[in-house]
Chain A
Amino acid sequence: MRDTALADLRVVLLRGLAGALGNRGRADDAFLEDIAQESLVKILDHLDSFRGQSRFVSWAISIAVRSAISELRRRRWKDVSLEGAAEEDRASHDPSDDPLTRPQVLVERKAILQLLERLIENELTDKQRTALRAELGGMPLEEIARRTGSNRNAIYKLTHDARKRLKQALESAGYSAADVCAVFSC
């Protein structure tokens, strides 16, 4: 009976994963099967942690989705270092993207850019600076954690503390985040 239940759950996981990943074009059948099998093991290992706050299927699918997304992110970023993340993103930026920007706005942007660089350099710890730069380059927190021997939750806390410091320093320099947003058309 247990084998039947596991087989049924496997089918549910595969359908759910296909729904989550299929229209994003990010996974083939072999990948889905691997993740489903891996998730079945995790679900069985963590059955005691199911509290009934959500439906069992929702809880089980959330484990499968997390496994899938974690693996996809690992594959996407496996050849990119922390320092490389920011540089890779910078290389794709074309300064001439917005030819209609008024010269005055460009001058303001340059001044604020220099201020932000100075604040990042002076206000943050080395760990905060490294994590934030990688995050700005698009690297997922999970991947930052992997490279620094930490975990995603701790990296979120690290970057949250960094953001609070920068926000405060920006305000001390006479700028509100909202004002700066307006200059950069956020």
Chain B
Amino acid sequence: MELTPDHARVLVTMLTKTQEHELYCDDCLCQLATFVEHSLSGHSFCEAMARIQQHLDDCNECHEEYEMLRDALRALGEFHCPDQGKS
């Protein structure tokens, strides 16, 4: 397969962010609801949550799920976020 410049750009961006030890999707997703609650409430993150953030920076799929869960909880008015503009 011939790589396009776009493929290379995506690949190299991924490589730049690659860590030796990363959280995998299962561990991220089982804590995602708690993570979204933290982010919507403006609470500071503990280390476990910071690792979730790192995984979300690396995994487009989990990040999309995070955004949708965040939007769903906002729609329910479950949280009063001090900064609605944050992603």
Q: With a CB–CB cut-off of 8 A, which chain B residues contact A177?
A: 12, 15-16, 18
- Cβ-based interface call for A146 (8 A): no
Interface-central residue, B20, B31, B73, B74, by most chain A CB under 10 Å: B73
8 examples of A-B residue contacts, CB within 8 angstroms:
A55-B33, A62-B33, A68-B68, A113-B3, A116-B12, A142-B61, A153-B24, A177-B16
User: Within the complex, what minimum Cβ distance (angstroms) separates B37 from chain A?
Assistant: 5
Across the A-B interface, give the 8 residue pairs with the lowest CB-CB distance, nearest first.
A19-B75, A16-B72, A54-B33, A20-B72, A58-B33, A20-B68, A177-B15, A177-B16
Residues of A within 8 A of B34 (CB): 53-54, 58
Distance of A167 Cα from B8 Cα, bound (Å): 13
A15 CB within 8 Å of chain B: yes
- For chain B, the bracket of interface size reads 35 or more
Per the 8 Å Cβ criterion, residues 50-67 of B in contact with A are 59-61, 64-65
Shortest A70–chain B CB gap in Å is: 9
A20 in contact with B69 (CB, 8 Å): yes
Shortest Cβ gap from B61 to chain A (Å): 5
Which residues on B sit within 8 Å (CB–CB) of A15? 75-76
Contacts of B73 in A (CB 8 A): 16, 19, 57-58, 61
Q: Would B61 and A186 count as touching, CB distance under 8 A?
A: no
Interface residues of A (CB under 8 A from B): 12, 15-21, 23-24, 53-55, 57-59, 61-62, 64-66, 68-69, 86-87, 89-90, 93, 95, 109, 112-113, 116-117, 120, 132-133, 136-137, 140-142, 152-153, 156-157, 160, 163-164, 166-167, 170, 177-178, 180-181, 184-186
- Residue in B2, B7, B9, B24 whose CB lies within 8 Å of A157: B24
Residues of A within 8 A of B85 (CB): none
Instruction: Give the number of residue pairs across the A-B interface with Cβ within 8 Å.
Output: 150
Docked Cα-Cα span, A95 to B15, in Å, equals 23
Contacts of B64 in A (CB 8 A): 69
B1 and A86 form a contact (CB under 8 A)? yes
Interface string of B8-24 (1 = CB under 8 A from A): 11111111101010101
Q: Which residue of B lies closest to A109 (CB)?
A: B5
